[in-house]
Amino acid sequence: MDYSLQHHKALIGQPIHSLLTPSITISHPVLKANIRRLHDDVSSIGIAFRPHVKTLKCLEATRMMLGNGDHRKVVASTIPEILGVLPLAQEGLLDECLYGLPVYPSILPRLQEIRRSLPITLMIDSPQHIQVLEDFADRSESFGPWRVFIKVDVGSHRAGVVPETAALSDLVHEAQASKALQVIGFYCHAGHSYSSRSEVEVIQVLEAELAGVLSGAKLIPRSQPLIVSIGATPTAHAITKLRRLLPQNATLELHAGNFLVNNLQQVSTSLIGLEQQAIRICAEVCSVYPERNEALLNAGVIALSRETSAFEGFGQVVDKQGWAVVRLSQEHGIIGRTKSAEHRNVSLDFKDGDRVLLFCQHA
């Protein structure tokens, strides 16, 4: 068992620098403010919200993202994440979970079992998925048709069918005809929005998201209610700029997951400031190398990831401007100077055993 789970009570009330390293630290006031900001945005334009349970996998954070029941649906991409939110369903705060990957055969028995406790919605982007669901229906206990979103690729090229194509039209036609599923809407995720560097660029991606899901919605009879679900944290930050009108049968839903903590990738979009990052990685200096003006940290790829942004390196030292994690291996990080701070001296700024707080690129 992880040390922090065994001994977390002894850490309550202690300063950050008493933590074992590397550790993740969260600012509760910033966390609450970030959640409140997005809740206020979706409320101001009258759309639905579905938080993505991925960044902070804990009941307290998920309960806050749901607004204690104001929002009643989540998306999660792993079985442990779904199991982790079941207590919220038992509390009466959660009505549905969308499984965040296109469906595959081996996952269905596990999702079917969870379906006894919490309604599960699926995602499809291929005719093969329809066959998978029909085959499963033929050999398993019936819970009725699976509710499904059709995933649309709006530029990330990770999953989804391309809008305005015969492939999308054919998929919609086959899905509508199948007795094993019920199409409830169209879903996209603009993962490529993380590379945006201005509000204008983010809004362009946001408009492409909505155009993508609406390209599917127009293939459905107007009498059939639909959900069109768009989102990624960068476009979520710009959601109030959306001006496109929806068909009368369509309900707009926003999904996002990183918004509650934010990170340097979000700051790079220019839509939030450094002070809106709730997350820090606490690491420790293991050695200092004056000859190359660098220091070694006990936080590498596992703690920080290899994600990048407009900010140099793989993480920025919070309280010592001009220093960043410039190289990584699995468990090690190298602190070096950024291009704007060539005058900094590692021997003056760091020593063995120093605790260092880092802004991370992606959480």
Residue 4 lies in a domain: no
Residue 22 lies in a domain: no
b/e sequence 221-250, b meaning 16+ C-beta within 10 Å: eeeeebbbbbbbbbbbbbbeebeeebeeeb
- Which residues constitute the domain of residue 213? 29-263
What pLDDT does 85 receive? 96
Residue 271 lies in a domain: no
Q: What is the CATH number of the domain that holds 301?
A: 2.40.37.20
- Per the structure, the count of domains in the chain is 2
Residues 88 and 137 grouped into a single domain: yes
Which among 218, 239, 263 is the end of a domain?
Answer: 263
Burial class (CB in 10 A: 0-12, 13-18, 19+), 158: exposed
Print pLDDT tens along the chain (363 aa).
345 556 677 877 888 888 889 999 999 999 999 999 999 999 999 999 999 999 998 899 999 999 999 999 999 999 999 999 999 999 999 999 999 999 999 999 999 999 999 999 999 999 999 999 999 999 998 889 999 999 999 999 999 999 999 999 999 999 999 999 999 999 999 989 998 999 999 999 999 999 999 999 999 999 999 999 999 999 999 999 987 778 999 999 999 999 999 999 999 999 999 999 999 999 999 999 999 999 999 999 999 999 999 999 999 999 999 999 999 999 999 999 998 887 889 999 999 999 999 999 998
Residue 21 lies in a domain: no
Residues 231 and 290 grouped into a single domain: no
Residue 249 lies in a domain: yes
Residues 111 and 191 grouped into a single domain: yes
Residue 128 lies in a domain: yes
Which among 263, 297, 332 is the end of a domain?
Answer: 263
Upstream peptide bond of 22 is cis (omega within 30 degrees of 0): yes
Kindly report the backbone phi and psi dihedral angles of residue 295, in degrees, each rounded to the nearest multiple of 5, phi listed first.
-135, 155
What pLDDT does 67 receive? 96
Contact 281, 46 (CB under 8 A): no
Overall pTM surpassing 0.85 (yes/no): yes
What pLDDT does 1 receive? 32
In 3D space, the residue among 199, 201, 214 whose CA is nearest the CA of residue 244 turns out to be: 214
Residue 1 lies in a domain: no
Compute the distance between CA of residue 11 and CA of residue 191 in angstroms, rounded to an integer: 36
What pLDDT does 6 receive? 64
